[in-house]
Amino acid sequence: MTTALQNDNTAVQPLRVLLAGNPNSGKTSLFNAMTGSHHKVANYPGVTVERREGRWRGAGRDILVRDLPGTYSLLPLSPEERVARDEILGGDHDVVVVVIDATLLRRGLMFLLQVIEHGGNAVLCLNMSDEAHRAGQQIDLVWLEELLGIPVVETAAHRGEGLGELHAVLVGAKPRPRPGLSPEIAAILGGPVALADPDVARMQRLATAADAVIARTLVHAARPDARRWTRRLDAVLAHRTFGLPIFLAAMYAVFWVTFTLGAAPMDWIDAGFAGLGELVVRFWPGSPDSPLLSLVVDGIIAGVGGVVIFLPNIVLLFLCLSLLEDTGYMARAAYLMDRVLSRVGLHGKSFLPLVTGFGCSIPGIMATRTIENERDRLATMMVLPLMSCGARLPIWLLIIPALFPQAWQAPMMWGVYMFGVALALGLALLLRGTLLKGEPAPFVLELPPYRLPTAASVFGRMAERSAVYLRKAGTVILAISIVLWALSTYPRKPQYTVDAEVAAGAAHTPAEIDGMRAAEALRWSAAGRIGQAIEPLFRPLGYDWRIVTASLGAFAAKEVFVSQMSIVYALGDDGDTGDIGRRLRADYSPVTGLSLIVFLLVGTPCMATIAVTRRESGSWRWALLQFFGLTSLAYGLAFVVTSVGGLLS
């Protein structure tokens, strides 16, 4: 064992620390508590495993913390576990902090002993110690340090307890116990065994050693009824009959909260952007016909405003998802849903990525990394864009209220999501039966006790995810809004046909004249020309060039469909975005609306999705298959809707 912990190397070099441990041991909340917001996320080279690193500033010496993926042993079963193993056994660190859920000592110690056995310079962090104490568990820490020969620190990371001591131990400010496993524990282990050998005897020796450590250090065992609240809740929430209806109701509640509570702040944001536009117009120093003013008001403010307006929905959705994750209900949902998902060849663990896909496909696709089996992972990734993402929500909120009666709106919204889910499951089955044939991966899902989520964790995660959306609005969508504004503004039409008609004596109200001028200007612009050029391709679906133009924008980013529509119409009525609905109602039938919903739900996953699929699957083949496969399917389905709808009406 090296002596890196001792403060003999007090140079400016920060101490390099790895955080390792079982999944659900609270490793990540410990990492967040250590580094605050000072961390960056990158990928390990060659694999798609997240590498989270941050700096922990404190007395004595800075610490560079790296959060490893959760792992149950040093025998890897997934890319994440392989990364964790390589990091622990590799030399690029000074200390491995092994984080153990203090309420699950045996399993945690079995992992810790493997790390010690293979020469890791370890520090044991007994996390969730508050929970263990509440359950009546008491451990003799002095004895534990003596037996393991490493420093032991109790923490409750989510409440920030024990962090100071951990820092002191890491920088060597506190004296260390005698190094090396005590002889009696070492004798039980009998020396490290080749890592390629998962045999029962080896695991049994680890378990025996862990049991011996616990037997010698456990002053007071946890009360057997420590999990009684979890058991009572599970008796209802995981009930064989009631579990699924409760789960579906919970999902419905999430969408209800997202859309109903989101309505008021959306109005404020809408009013805010409209007011901002008016302010700019009022105080504009130059001529009111300036192209720059049009760029700012009609392009930037209207375009970005059309996206930011959906921030309340997205924040609320992510808030609900974070709550469900942090309480532990998500694991129950995976348990309840696994039967359905395994029928179509997916995994219970596919559930979380798929649900995340309701927020945004990109984190959803990234979350498929937790699925061990590659075929399960690819199938989940391929169908994930069918989960109606937050960026598509603005489209539904634009089309559904505009084209359907009030009473239909909520069921329609529910229906859109459910249709996407059903189609995703069907496609997954198809994929697993054809391109991705093979045995499903083992399903070993941990069901942690229910926990009261902390505000810091829930809001932190919500903020992080919402920030991704906002950043997109501030960068990609801003740029695209400008490009689309330019495409739809230039070239300018020199003179309008409607002016000639009016001059010839035709009777039009001033509003009608404005609208007709706008329509002419658009048709004349570059965007209008592209849309018109490929319009024949979409005529069987009943789409005109305006929808086609906006759909092209939707490939760049789904929500651009809305900002494009709002620019298209705002150009005609002086930035009053509230009127788009009325315009849509005038121009399109409900059948076209439904067909359009189907087309945009199923087809053309956005550029970013394609790029992430390419990265996560490791090949363009899957990314292109995803794009062309889904778009062809969308075209086919939209055609069916238009044709059937045409026959019925």
Partner 1 sequence: MTDGATLPNLTPALEDYLETVLRLVADTGFARVRDIADARQVRPASVSPAMRRLEELGMIRYERREYVALTDAGADAARRVYSRHRVLRRFFGQFLGLPADVAEADACTAEHSLSAATLDRLVQLFEYMEVCPEGRTHLRHFQQCARVNDGASCCTDDCPVVQDLAERKPTMSIADLRPGQSGRVRQIEGQGAIRQRLLDMGLLPDTIIELARVAPAGDPLWIKTQGFELALRRNEASSVLVEVQ
Where along the sequence are the contacts to partner 1 (CB under 8 A)? 72-73, 75, 77, 103-104, 106-107, 110, 184, 188, 198, 200, 203-204, 207-208, 211-212, 215, 222, 234, 238-241, 243-244, 331, 334-336, 338-339, 342, 348, 372, 441-448
With respect to partner 1, which residue has the nearer C-beta, 150 or 331?
331
CB atoms within 10 A of CB 133: 17
Single out the residue of 304, 318, 374, 383 nearest to residue 344, CA to CA: 383
Closest approach of partner 1 to the CB of residue 207, in Å: 5
Closest approach of partner 1 to the CB of residue 598, in Å: 30
With respect to partner 1, which residue has the nearer C-beta, 231 or 437?
231
CA–CA separation, 361 and 366 (whole Å)? 8
What is the DSSP code (8-state) at residue 178?
P
Closest approach of partner 1 to the CB of residue 607, in Å: 36
Residue burial 201-213, b: 16+ Cβ < 10 Å; e: rest: ebbebbbebbebb
Give the tokens for residue 145. Answer: 């340090």
Closest approach of partner 1 to the CB of residue 445, in Å: 4
Closest approach of partner 1 to the CB of residue 486, in Å: 54
Cis preceding-peptide flag for 151 (omega within 30 of 0):
no
Closest approach of partner 1 to the CB of residue 242, in Å: 9
Give the tokens for residue 529. Answer: 């020309």
Return all residues near 88 (Cβ < 8 A) that are at least 6 apart.
Answer: 18, 20, 68, 74, 96, 115, 118, 120
With respect to partner 1, which residue has the nearer C-beta, 371 or 565?
371
Closest approach of partner 1 to the CB of residue 91, in Å: 25
With respect to partner 1, which residue has the nearer C-beta, 76 or 306?
76
With respect to partner 1, which residue has the nearer C-beta, 38 or 106?
106
Closest approach of partner 1 to the CB of residue 194, in Å: 14
With respect to partner 1, which residue has the nearer C-beta, 372 or 559?
372
Closest approach of partner 1 to the CB of residue 428, in Å: 17
Distances (CA, A) of 48 to 44, 163, 314: 7, 30, 26
CB atoms within 10 A of CB 228: 10
The DSSP element (H or E) to which 67 belongs, if any, is strand 63-67
Closest approach of partner 1 to the CB of residue 156, in Å: 18
Closest approach of partner 1 to the CB of residue 22, in Å: 9
Q: Which long-range contacts (CB under 8 A, 24 or more apart) does 208-211 make?
A: 209/109, 209/113, 209/185, 210/105, 210/106, 210/107, 210/109, 210/110, 210/113, 211/106
Closest approach of partner 1 to the CB of residue 249, in Å: 15
With respect to partner 1, which residue has the nearer C-beta, 228 or 471?
228
Pairing of strands 138-139, 218-220: antiparallel
In what order do the strands lie in the sheet containing 39-43?
39-43, 50-56, 63-67, 15-21, 95-101, 122-127, 152-154
CB atoms within 10 A of CB 396: 20
With respect to partner 1, which residue has the nearer C-beta, 22 or 617?
22
Relative orientation angle of helices 351-359 and 406-433, to the nearest 10 degrees: 140
CA–CA separation, 419 and 87 (whole Å)? 43
CA–CA separation, 392 and 469 (whole Å)? 12
With respect to partner 1, which residue has the nearer C-beta, 80 or 559?
80
Closest approach of partner 1 to the CB of residue 111, in Å: 8
With respect to partner 1, which residue has the nearer C-beta, 285 or 442?
442
Closest approach of partner 1 to the CB of residue 429, in Å: 16
Bridge partner list, 98: 20, 124
CA–CA separation, 602 and 549 (whole Å)? 18
With respect to partner 1, which residue has the nearer C-beta, 197 or 576?
197
With respect to partner 1, which residue has the nearer C-beta, 372 or 520?
372
With respect to partner 1, which residue has the nearer C-beta, 64 or 340?
340
With respect to partner 1, which residue has the nearer C-beta, 234 or 616?
234
CA–CA separation, 600 and 71 (whole Å)? 39
Q: For residues 12, 13, 14 and 19, what is the CA-based torsion angle, rounded to 10 degrees?
A: -170
Single out the residue of 572, 566, 633 nearest to residue 603, CA to CA: 633
Pairing of strands 218-220, 95-101: unpaired
Give the tokens for residue 560. Answer: 């651009």
Q: For residues 265, 269, 274 and 279, what is the CA-based torsion angle, rounded to 10 degrees?
A: 120
